[in-house]
Amino acid sequence: MEKKMMWKLIAKEQGKDFLLYFAFLFIFGVLFFLYELPMEPYIYGAMLTFLLFGIAKGIGGVRLFKKHQRLRQEFENLPLLSDPFAQPETLCEADFIDLLVQLQQILNHTTTKWNEKERNAIDFYTTWVHQIKTPVSVLRMILQKEDTKQNRSLLLEVFRIEQYIEMVLSYLHLESPSSDFVFKEYKLDTILKEVIHKFAPQFVEKKITLTYIPTNLTILTDEKWLSFLVEQILSNALKYTKEGGQISIYLNPDDTLNISDTGIGIAPEDLPRIFEKGFTGYNGRTDKKATGVGLYLCKETAKKLSHRIFADSVVGKGTTISIEFLTHTKKIFE
């Protein structure tokens, strides 16, 4: 609350007492007049009581202001206080504190129930994700037994299902308070080559050219989660790049990793929001392929890894997603 507004409220509250005081003065003045009593004692008495009353109300206003400041400070530090409520000075304050205590108990009960439901939901979806992996793996094995055009197409769809399963599992892990991050020094090229190999069938199927320039870079990161981050970016690049297009993976002089495509691009007004949860943008809604989750997970993953992710795009020409490694990096000379 602004100080100006606060003093207005204090003046309004104190003003009621002044109105009552002046009403009493008026009544006594009328009585003195009607009974034809000397007005001099009345005037002296009124002046003296007005002075004392003004001093009393001034002190009361200052006390009220200090109490307000103390309460605001207690509210700001509410999570740190074992007994956050000040001792009541009036019956109204006591009732108000009782109400706050009851509301706090209701909130704690509701929060406990909500956390329990959330844990149950996470456990259920985690179990479901792990269980669905088995039939999908069996389906992949069956399709791999015979190398036909139809089976290759079906294998690509199975791969997409596996990607969505991994996306759900990663989302659950990222939203969970616990963390399975293991930070070590890794060769960036090793991680990139494994991801490229994983997506090789899609490059072949869509006849998309890959330009990969080795980075010769060692970074401090988590291998599994950085692989997931690059996979999501590469998956998006393949999804929105038409047949015969090109995807490039290269390193800037400042050790920023770039993954560029010649896809449909992102509208300028959508670009600042592409990492928001659930945001699909104009092209995503038109193409009906966007979920609004992939890039959000990329941003959250990059944040957990202490990396920075950003994008640059031109509609109709393509998009470049960049990963800046804010942690320790070093060049490898072989």
DSSP 241-288: SPTT-EEEEEE-TTSEEEEEE-SS---TTTGGGTTSTT--HHHHHHHT
Nearest to 29 by CA among 19, 44, 14: 44
CB 134 within 8 A of CB 162: no
Q: What is the pLDDT of residue 334?
A: 46
Long-range (24+ apart) CB contacts under 8 A made by 53-58 are: 53/18, 53/21, 57/14, 57/17, 57/18
Neighbouring C-beta atoms of residue 90, cutoff 10 Å:
8
Mean pLDDT, the chain cut into blocks of 10 residues (334 residues total): 65 76 87 86 87 84 76 66 61 76 86 86 83 88 87 88 86 73 92 94 92 93 94 93 94 93 92 87 59 86 93 94 79 52
- What is the predicted pLDDT for the residue at 10? 66
pLDDT computed for residue 277 by the predictor: 86
- What are the backbone dihedrals phi and psi of residue 266, each rounded to the nearest 5 degrees, phi first? -125, 135
**Nearest one of 292, 280, 305 to 229, comparing CA atoms:** 305
Closest CA to 202 of 162, 161, 235, 229: 235
Distance from C-alpha of 82 to C-alpha of 89, rounded to nearest angstrom: 20
pTM, full prediction: 0.64
Closest CA to 185 of 222, 214, 229: 222
